[in-house]
Amino acid sequence: MTGAPPFHAVEIIRAKRDGGELPGPAIDWLIDAYTHRAVPDEQMAALLMAIVWRGLSGTELATWTAAMIASGERLDLAGLGRPTVDKHSTGGVGDTVSLILVPLLAAAGAAVPQLSGRGLGHTGGTLDKMESIPGWRAELSPAEMRAVLADVGGVICAAGAGLAPADRRLYALRDVTGTVESIPLIASSIMSKKIAEGTAALVLDVKAGSGAFMPSVEKANELARTMVGIGAAHGVATEALITDMDTPLGRSAGNALEVADAVDALRGGGPPDLVEVTLALARRMVVLAGLDAGPDPADILASGAAHDAWRRMVRAQGGDPDAPLPVARHTETVTAPATGYVRRLDARAVGLAAWRLGAGRGRQDDTVSAAAGVRWRAGLGDRVAAGQVVFELATDDPERIPSALAALDGALEMGPTPPAPRRLVLGQISS
């Protein structure tokens, strides 16, 4: 950038602070200038806080998202010979869906370019889970990514530095300035990356509940509607399912532990709730990809074809699908205080315990333990006897166990009668 800038960051900040609508050219200039470090972090932080309080109109959000996409490259997935479709989850506890869903859709005939992230706080990250597989690598060039897609039909990898670089900077800044909880900023962050990856269709898994980013169904619906609208505006066929995250999915939270659950599901078993959510998303994905005339995803899963695709995908990224997964050096068990039914299992508490055991990170640059995590031996509605093991804690560092136990205090609520059946899919939003 040379010469006098056409806009001034302070004027843009003041306009949004006072409730004004930012003109499109000002947004375009701002995102470009911030990406190239011509606008400093402190000024962008001030604007982000103004957006938290004042929001963005539909027009502003469309321009903001488009500017983030335009800040970098856009992947070209044409010529793969398969329809492209992807899925994004807003994050949860025991949410191992992507590990099953990508090879399942590949086996159905789709190309799934799953650009994933790492965990932060109590929610797990898909890349952290996959990296517990010996030899597997997340960093692929665009050419390598296309090669895996063409060969296998599915890939799970990290987004390259050239993909929506404005979002990479904004995401890090929001994390340290208390400006994460803004639906327009969340929606533009997610959708800018998904649109830039080049997929033709997208199904969103928007979680609601104690372990979710959006605790209330109302807020989850608002976020889903916003993202579906952005996708439609950019020519990406987009749908969203609102799914429950009051209770964690599956039977484990932790990187290698969740990979084991995913492989069990790909072999035709696995935790029923995890499989149910996976199939609900898969059925919407095959519709958007135009593959719904083929076998039902449940039949593909039962046939073993998805497991075959998983093994090929892992190998294509340097991993050994037959290698033993890491096992923690220390374990601790928690037993039921009384006989009764599990009436509540708090997802956030379980995720927090797994994080404290070493499975998650508090900052983006923290390292994680592949073997750490929590298994629950009793799920919602199960009857347990006093003294029966209900939690197993795994860690490489025994000094982490007391704080993890503290997180689980009160996570399990028992009663003399079973709770109402759990609804896993709470709603659906289409464009």
Catalytic residues: 88, 167, 174, 189, 193
Residue 411 is classified by DSSP as T
Q: What residues does 73 pair with on adjacent strands?
A: 163
Cα–Cα dist 194/39, whole Å? 25
Alpha helices in 267-318, H assignment, sequence order: 272-288, 297-303, 305-316
Q: What is the residue whose two structure tokens read 């093991």?
A: 389
Instruction: Tell me the two tokens of residue 278.
Output: 């996976």
Cα–Cα dist 323/134, whole Å? 7
Instruction: Tell me the two tokens of residue 244.
Output: 């429950």
Gyration radius (Cα) of the chain, Å: 22
Q: How many CA atoms lie within 13 A of 87 on its CB side?
A: 32
Cα–Cα dist 163/191, whole Å? 12
Q: Which of 224, 230, 252 is nearest to 425 (CA)?
A: 224
Decide: residue 344, CB within 10 A, 0-12 exposed, 13-18 middle, 19+ buried. middle
In this structure, the number of other CB atoms found within 10 A of the CB of residue 421 comes to 8
In contact, 106 and 228? CB cutoff 8 Å:
no
Q: Which helix (H) or strand (E) holds 112?
A: strand 112-116
Strands 425-430 and 383-384: unpaired
Cα–Cα dist 400/423, whole Å? 34
Q: What is the residue whose two structure tokens read 């009436």?
A: 343
